[in-house]
Structure 1
């Protein structure tokens, strides 16, 4: 009997507390695919079902498969975890349970997608990683809980680890949604104005310049004159200077990396 997965795409993006079986009819063959192995499939699509990512989900630009880990559990109560070998606090997700869930999830795609475990031990997720994922066919995220997962699963499947930042969450679901949001918005056709991708933070190694809109004056604060001048060359020069100043002040690590790249290119 096939274990349940909850699929979201052109058919529907509404969450369901009862995951339904995924069939070929409701899977979009060429859509960018996100698979999430989780104890909380009802958490998806969550905020990903709103705004631009939600519209792209409805339009079939990408699709989401939330695979419920619980049915793969063992025993009467479908246990998915056990005490750590060698003792210690908390519980660890079992290798046999995770292995069966991973094998089932892989069977949902014609070709297995890159598999990542969301963990604070992993490589820091950034815009470069988002671009890399967006250029591929999709991704499979394994959401941990409790004290983590059995290391043998990571070793056997050669699972790469990704971290949202230097902090600990109760599980990987929030991290998965954040990473998917950052990645999906880079897919062709998701953003109405593709040029905005070129100007936003991290696109060129800089933080984004300040933004302004109407009214021209608000509580004594005015829009910089250059932005109202109509001189596009001067506006671009101002924005670049602002972006560089903000990056130097707030993210010296980014600024140093940018300078190092420039130095390498000049040699």
Structure 2
């Protein structure tokens, strides 16, 4: 996978040289290229922003440097094979007003061969840039949470790591991401439960005996139960929107024990009068 990042703070992306992403780059599994937007400015001050039309606080990033930068980066794409057109990238724009970034979206992006990130600063990028490239590229406007940062570079780090770990060969154990919180599959929409390692006792605290039993069926059931308990406690909204068809008899009994009831529409809601401990 190729990843291009256009930013006015290239040094912010240094973490892409370390840990999981850094190793993937070193092995050639991930081609990351960081570009300074100011390279595409033409005035002595390397201006990338201006005041907003219609008034208001803050500044808006100018379309000209973004357009030139994106044109040059897109043009640098090599053909997938002789005689074929250059590969078409996906444009990812981190913004608080975008769609929520989820594990499902990470999986979707991990299947794309080329991502270009456009992290904004100030009040954002002139809207015409998004509209222009949206006519011939897939554009994802993505939010990593309901809060506002000084710029989109931190979101680029989050999204890149979430996507990179899904690429074939990046994780040492190919099965490592199967039981992630929010991972598609049997445990979808559940948070991952607690995990333990050696020693078997630490500061007088042991580990659940079922994990020492060697009984894979019981261990799987315990892990699913703990996932339900953690999800019900920390993310009740996930329980409320879970698909009832994906729940077995044991799941339903556990939810009832935790203070949830199945409503006429089939979905689950908190039992009236139940107070979370």
Band of TM-score, shorter chain? 0.7 to 0.9
Contact kept? 1:92, 1:146, Cα under 8 Å: yes
Find the counterpart in structure 2 of residue 71 from structure 1: 39
Aligned runs of 1:46-195 on 2, under 5 Å?
46-109=14-77, 110-158=86-134, 159-195=139-175
Asked if the contact 1:41/1:67 (under 8 Å) is kept, the reply is: yes
**Larger gyration radius, structure 1 or structure 2:** 2
The CA deviation string for residues 32-69 of structure 1, in whole angstroms up to 9 with x for no partner, is 0111111112222x222222221111000111011210
Determine the structure 2 residue equivalent to 1:12: none
> TM-score of the superposition, structure 1-length normalised?
0.83
Query: Which residue does 2:233 correspond to in 1?
Result: 249
Q: Check the 8 A contact 2:190/2:238 in 1, yes or no.
A: yes
Q: Which runs of 4+ in 1 moved over 3 A?
A: 260-264
Structure 1 CA distance, aligned partners of 2:64 and 2:16? 30
Local SS of the residue matching 2:233: helix
3-state SS of 1:144 partner: coil
Paired residues of 2:94 and 2:118 also in contact (CA < 8 A): yes
- Tell me, in whole angstroms, the C-alpha distance in 2 between the residues paired with 1:192 and 1:160: 29
Unaligned runs of 5+ in 2: 78-85, 248-264, 266-277
Counterpart Cα distance in 2 of 1:261 and 1:90 = 49
Secondary structure of the structure 1 residue equivalent to 2:108: helix
1:28 alignment partner in structure 2: none
Which segments of 5 or more consecutive residues in structure 1 lack a partner in the other structure? 1-31
In structure 2, the residue matched to 1:27 is: none
What does the per-residue CA deviation read over 1:90-133, in whole Å, with 9 as the maximum and x for residues that have no partner? 11101112111111121121323111211000000010010001
Partner of residue 206 from structure 1, selected from 190, 200, 222: 190
Deviation readout 1:202-234 (Å, 9 max, x if unpaired): 112211111011121112211011111111111
Q: Which residue of structure 1 lines up, in the alignment, with residue 259 of structure 2?
A: none
Q: 2:66 aligns to what SS in structure 1?
A: helix
TM-score, length-scaled by structure 2: 0.80
2: distance between equivalents of 1:164 and 1:140? 17
Does the Cα contact within 8 Å between 2:20 and 2:161 map onto a contact in 1?
no
Closer, same or farther: CA 254–261 of 1 in aligned 2, 3 Å: farther
- Sort the Cα spacing of 1:250 and 1:261 in 2 relative to 1 into closer, same or farther, 3 A: farther
Question: How far apart are residue 260 of structure 1 and its match?
Answer: 5.5
Q: What is the alpha-carbon root mean square deviation over aligned residues? A: 1.7
